[in-house]
Structure formats: structure tokens, C-alpha cells
Amino acid sequence: MKESGENIETAGWRNLHYGWVMVANGAIVNAIGSVHAATFPIFFLPIQQEFKVGSAAVAFVLTMARVQGGIEGPLVGWFIDRVGPRIPAVLAALIGGIGFLILPMANTYWSFVFIYVLVISFAFNMGFLHAMHAVANLWFVRYRTRVLSIYSSSLRFGSALLTPVVAAIVLKNGWRGGATFAGVLVLVAALPLTFLIRKTPESMGLLPDWEKPGSDDTAASEQTQQKLDRPKSPEDFETGQALRSVSYWLIMYSTAVRHAVLAGVRVHFIPIFVGLGFSEITGASFLALTSFIATPLILFNGWLGDRVYKPYVLMTGQVASVIGMLFLMNAGSAWTLYLFTFFFAYGESTAPVNHSIIGDFYGRKNFAKLNGMLGAGVMFGSTLTPVAAGLVVDNLGTYTPALWGFMAAAAVAAVLMMMCRRPEKPAKFVAKPY
């Protein structure tokens, strides 16, 4: 059924351009939503000082947010598969914006945990992560990885712009001023844009990849897919069939490791730099630089992911993480910090491939559920690493043992990605008559 009032067969310019509207709108929404990722590392030291808690306790906030995200993922995925991505995105922007506005009311450590985890993180995981991944998967097949790369790069670009802004606000007005800024930004800028999201191209009289049914472009795209020796739209796997494939679990481990390294380092990014003798502003600047460098790298890997076997692209990201950890552990000069920043950014930049591979391997029908279930695997990695790193530095006074652990996990993930193969859908069992 086509969405009421949105049949673009009767609206000329939309018939040509609404796919691009989805791309541009999603990129802007993600860029604004990056304020969620930009704020926590900047809040780390002020929260630690105000509530008089250790590094592990502050990292525990993000750990609980990851646990909540892991539980939320499959449920939100089911919800998105049922109602489409627009309603979850609208609710997320509304709840997330309000959450940031009430966060300054937190006067104790546990009230901060409650608001940040159960309100803010819940909203941003639902609408700025799962919903936007679903948009890319529902609206695009041939260009899925490239669109995901645009969405992911806009997230990093937004973070690169917003991190120094939030850092300056926090330096002048405290973390509460930074939280208020984030809430106003989301409600004023992101919320209106979420209403432009549409469920599927078919609901508007189109096909994925900006095509019209019966158009010459459709036939041309099918010929292009044959030349690329990739199916235009893979046969949909049922959820149980996907979960029984080895490749799904290899992808889950790789995703969990990528998020574990990302969370472990990003949460402690500024304290790590302060420990190296730099100021908080310098640490925030390098954090912003990481996001800035990741922006073109994400676009590159999105382009590469549509041309090279995706597990190999994911493997390069894990190798980059290993190299980045080596430079960080031996950071004795500015050039080693810049090299760490580059390789760490490259490790982040395979994110769109991490999600588009689910659509490529298992189809569109159950994408949101399968992608959401990855969150359960991500939870185990990214919930442990920030707290583990905090405990290490609280007890040993150095992050080095934690960084060795991150490096080892990434090395194992790189090897496993070399073993990952496209699954074949099991044949349906048909009972023979007696």
C-alpha cells in the first residue's frame, strides 16, 4: 500500500529525487544526532570530579547504556520491521532531546546514570542508529553500502564539528550547559527532519535505488548487477535461518570487537591524553580530529564495500585498530599521536560495511531484527571495555594493559573475517507423500 498523499508517480520532481531526499535528510539527522557521541567523552572528567567517583564508575555509565542497547536492539528491530523507520525516528528525536534537557537536573551519580541510560541512550539507539540503518536497507540495494557510508560519515563529520563546540561550552558553563545545548539542538534541528522519512520506496510507487517499476533504469541495473556477479536483491533469510549460519556469528564477533575497541578508547580518550601530559582541550581536539579523518575514510570504504568482498574490508578495519593501538602505547611524540589518530579513525570507518553486509547476506525482510540482534553481541564487548580500562587505570595507573587486550581482540577478529563466507539459504523441507 502506498502512503497516503505520497504517491510520487503523480508528483514529477519527487519521482526523480525522493531517494536523494532520503539520503540528504538521513545524513543531516545523523550529523545532528552525533551530539550524543560527542558529549560523553567531554563530560567524563567533569562528572568524575563533581560526583567524586573513579574512572571505572564513569565508564560504568556507558556500560549500562550498552547493556540497555543490547536488550533494546532486537525489540526495536521488530518494531521498525512492523511500522517502518519514521515513527521510531520521530520518537527518538523527541525523547532524546527532552532527555538532554532534564539531564542537568541530575544531582547525584545514580540520577545521572538513570537519565543518561534509560532516556537518552534508549532514544538515540532507536532513532539515530537502528532506524537510519533500516532506511538505507529499505531504500537501497545496489547502493546500500554507499548510503550507509554517507550516513556514517555524516555522523563522524557532525561529531568533528560538535565536539569542539561542546568542549568550549563545557569549559565555560560546565557539563550541564553542554547537555542543555545538545537537547535544544536535537529538538530544534533534528526533530522536524524526522517527519520527512518514508517507510519504503514501494510505498511511494518506486523501487529501491531511485528506480521506477518498468523503467529502463531497472533493466540496466539488473545488467550491472550481473556484471558485478552479485545478486541485485538476495533471497530473504528467515531470522532463524540467519542465526544458524556461521557467517552471522563471525560478523557479530567482528562488530562486537569494533565497538569494544571504539568504546574503550573513546570513553577514556581525553583522560588518556591528560595522562600523556596534554590538556583536556588538546584531547578534545584530537578526538574531533579522529572524527574528521574518519569522514572521508568512511565514504571510501562505502565505495570499496560495493566493489570488494565485504569481509575483507572489515578485516582491514581490524588490522588498522591493531596498528593504532601500537602507536598509542608508544606515543612519545606528536607524529605517533597523529598516526594513532589516523589508524584509529580507519578502524571506525568500516562501520557501514559492518551493517550493509547483513542486508547483502540475508536480504531486506528481516534486516532490522538481524541488525538489532547484533546489538546483543556488541553489548558484551562494548560494555566490558570501558569499565575494564577504568579499573586498570584506577589500580595500575596506566592504560597499557587494556590497550594490549584491545589489540589482541582486533587481531583475532581480523583472522575470523578472512574465514567469513556468504551463506547459502537452506532449502525448505518438503515432506514426501507415502
Compute the half-sphere exposure of residue 420: CA atoms within 13 Å on the CB side of its CA: 25
Predicted pLDDT at 61: 86
pLDDT of residue 170 exceeding 80, the answer is yes
Question: Which tens digit of pLDDT belongs to each residue from 69-128?
Answer: 767 777 887 888 888 889 999 999 999 999 999 999 999 999 999 999 999 988 988 888
Domains of the chain: 8-419 (1.20.1250.20)
pLDDT of residue 224 exceeding 50, the answer is no
Predicted pLDDT at 65: 79
Sequence-distant (6+) residues with CB within 8 A of 187 are: 93, 94, 97, 98, 101
pLDDT of residue 10 exceeding 70, the answer is no
pLDDT of residue 226 exceeding 50, the answer is no
Question: Which tens digit of pLDDT belongs to each residue from 386-412?
Answer: 888 889 888 888 888 988 988 888 898
Per-position b or e across 391-401, b if 16+ CB within 10 A of its CB: bbbeeeeebee
- Check: pTM over 0.75? Answer yes or no: no
Quick one: average pLDDT of 205-210? Answer: 70
Predicted pLDDT at 38: 81
What size, in residues, is the chain? 434
Cell of 44: 567524563
Measured CA to CA, the distance from residue 375 to residue 294 in angstroms comes to 22
Measured CA to CA, the distance from residue 30 to residue 193 in angstroms comes to 11
Question: Residues 214-221: contacts with CB within 8 Å, 24+ apart?
Answer: 221/142
Q: How many beta carbons lie within 10 A of that of residue 241, not counting itself?
A: 16
Task: Evaluate the CA torsion angle 347, 351, 354, 357 in order and state its sign.
Answer: negative
Look at 74 and 215; give whichever has higher pLDDT: 74
Question: Which tens digit of pLDDT belongs to each residue from 12-55?
Answer: 444 445 777 888 888 999 999 989 888 888 898 899 899 998 88
Predicted pLDDT at 104: 95
Average pLDDT, the chain: 81
pLDDT of residue 163 exceeding 80, the answer is yes
Q: How many beta carbons lie within 10 A of that of residue 52, not counting itself?
A: 8
Predicted pLDDT at 11: 44
Measured CA to CA, the distance from residue 322 to residue 344 in angstroms comes to 9
**Percent of the chain residues topping a pLDDT of 70:** 86
Contact 182, 188 (CB under 8 A): no
Predicted pLDDT at 215: 52
Question: Which tens digit of pLDDT belongs to each residue from 227-271?
Answer: 333 444 456 788 888 888 888 898 888 888 888 888 888 888 888
Least confident of 49-53, 156-160, 363-367: 363-367
CA distances from 45 to 50, 58, 104, 151, 284 (A): 9, 9, 16, 30, 12
User: Would you call 211 helix, strand, or coil by DSSP?
Assistant: strand
From the list 272, 268, 283, the residue with the least C-alpha distance to 387 is 268
